Amino acid sequence: PAREPILSVNNIEVVYDDVILVLRGVSLDVPEGEVVTLLGPNGAGKTTTLKAISGLLRTENGEVTRGEVRFMGENIANMAPEQIVRKGIFQVMEGRRIVEDMTVVENLRLGAYTRKDGGAAVKRDLEMVLDYFPRLRERTGLAGYLSGGEQQMLAIGRAMMARPKLILLDEPSMGLAPLLVKEVFGIIRKLNKELGMTTLLVEQNAKMALGAASFGYIMESGKIVMDGEQQDLLDNEDVKEFYLGGG
């Protein structure tokens, strides 16, 4: 059989405020070196699934009440988010959340704050990230002046600076013009191909997401309702009708 996936979410239930059941038994696998996408409509529970993995659920009074989040063989469900970051999982939140009154480079350096390897390695990675995002290299002012697409790129670049083993991307296409969506997804593909960046990608833009991912899960009302290889999902009639805009 294949190697154990780096991340394996097993039948998790998630509850907010002790009573609101939002995930009703969600399971998914992310093999090392792959881009896996989690698709589904608004409110399906995609963001909640990412937060259950990154531990950020705890900051919203949410809890994994059943099941396991196995990362590199260890159950990390309900661990503190700082601890999970140190294990190598980095979440890029929806809405980007860069620091607007810092420069691009300062924001990128922030991403490296958990690293123990020294300044030289961080500097090398800074150059590498700026090579992947040439638009960012040109922007020397404060990050608050960047366009939406550039802020999204900065958020992804900042995550890369942490050298994560797994990156969780929440709707990178949100609020971006079509051309920028293409550019951002092109970079996600490139990061995966060239650096082997393992990514769990939450998206409402199924077409773009399935262009970058090798495997996909579809979630509705707190459950996975379908999964499959990229091409099988792209060819599936229901997926075409409900998620790919009829072709």
Q: What contacts 24+ positions apart, CB below 8 Å, involve 208-213?
A: 208/173, 208/181, 208/182, 209/37, 209/39, 209/185, 210/37, 210/39, 210/234, 210/244, 211/185, 212/35, 212/37, 212/185, 212/188, 213/34, 213/35, 213/36, 213/37
Scanning 12-20, 29-37, 122-130, 151-159 for contacts with ligand ATP by CB under 6 A, the matching segment is: 12-20
Q: Does 43 bind ligand ATP (CB under 6 A)?
A: yes
**Residues 187-216: x where in contact with ligand ATP by CB under 6 A, - otherwise, as a string:** -----------------x------------
Size of the site for ligand ATP (CB under 6 A): 14
Q: Does 22 bind ligand ATP (CB under 6 A)?
A: yes
Closer of 49 and 107 to ligand ATP (Cβ): 49
Closest C-alpha among 127, 114, 120 to residue 87: 114
Q: Does 47 bind ligand ATP (CB under 6 A)?
A: yes
Helix, strand and coil percent figures for the chain, each rounded to 5 = 40, 25, 30
CB of 230 to ligand ATP, least distance (A): 21
Q: Does 20 bind ligand ATP (CB under 6 A)?
A: yes
Q: Residue holding tokens 């939450």? A: 202
Scanning 17-25, 72-80, 96-104, 193-201 for contacts with ligand ATP by CB under 6 A, the matching segment is: 17-25
- 3-state DSSP call for residue 48? helix
Token pair belonging to 18: 């002790």
Scanning 16-24, 109-117, 144-152, 233-241 for contacts with ligand ATP by CB under 6 A, the matching segment is: 16-24
Q: What single-letter amino acid sits at 10?
A: N
Among 6, 39, 40, 218, binds ligand ATP (CB under 6 A): 40
Neighbouring CB atoms inside 10 A of 223's CB total 15
Scanning 41-49, 71-79, 159-167, 239-247 for contacts with ligand ATP by CB under 6 A, the matching segment is: 41-49
CB of 40 to ligand ATP, least distance (A): 6
> Would you say 223 and 192 are in contact if contact means Cβ atoms under 8 Å apart?
no
Closest C-alpha among 6, 154, 135, 157 to residue 69: 6
Q: What single-letter amino acid sits at 9?
A: V
Closest C-alpha among 32, 177, 159, 178 to residue 96: 159
Among 60, 194, 232, 235, binds ligand ATP (CB under 6 A): 60
Closer of 44 and 156 to ligand ATP (Cβ): 44
Closer of 30 and 108 to ligand ATP (Cβ): 30
Q: Does 37 bind ligand ATP (CB under 6 A)?
A: no
Give the binding site for ligand ATP (CB under 6 A): 16-17, 20, 22, 40, 42-48, 60, 204
